[in-house]
Copies of this chain bind each other. A is one copy, B any other.
Amino acid sequence: MAKKTAPDSTRRSEKSRRAIYDAALALVSEVGYQKTTIEGIAARAGVGKQTIYRWWSSKADVLLEAFIDLSAQAAEAAAHPEAIGEQAEYEIPDTGDLEADLKLVLRATVDELLDPKFEAPWRALAAEGMVNQRLGAELVGKLLEPQLQLYVKRLRAAQEQGAVRPDIDPRIALELFVSPLAQRWLQYAGPISYEYALHGLAPR
């Protein structure tokens, strides 16, 4: 995050990075992943393409860090909501009502998956991660797993409150309601909606 005490060169390079991330996300949305090039990202961000090659080895790596940066911004905003002027969601709330809290988060997830600003780049990155195991592992380790750990934390709290059976493994249980949504979205395997997202929580 750009602190006021950062030296000029750090702030300049931080600004360039953000411009590059924004350019990459916008280009993939507008022209598609195949037609997005490092040259195109550089031109749109107003930097030389060597600046990009100095930091990243591929457009997929740029996208990955763009999403990591968005996630870090969300965490920062959640930690200092007063500085940003709006409440950002980063933790899963704990109102004591597990079902209500999960519904809130799953609805927000549906909104994010369908957000036209992020859908194409997020989809392109996920597809690249499926055929490039190194990138896939980074995507999971730096983005997916930290998100899933928020569910683990909330489910553990629910176990302590006696709302979830103690013998359930939270890391596995969360996949029962997160993965159906993820697979529908990833594979265009069916419509996703608030209603659908909440099926995994329905009493059985």
Contact = CB atoms under 8 A, between A and B. Distances in A.
Contacts of A131: 32-34, 123-124, 127
Interface in A103-155: 123-124, 126-131, 133, 136-137, 139-140, 144-145
Interface of A: 32-34, 123-124, 126-131, 133, 136-137, 139-140, 144-145, 165, 168, 172, 175-176, 178-180, 182-184, 186-189, 196, 199-200, 204
A180 B187 contact: no
Contacts of A172: 180, 196, 199
A142 to B, nearest CB: 13
A165 B124 contact: no
**Copy number of this protein in the oligomer?**
2
Contact of A183 (B33, B124, B136, B182): B182
A33 B132 CA distance: 10
A204 B175 CA distance: 14
Contacts of A186: 130, 183, 186-187
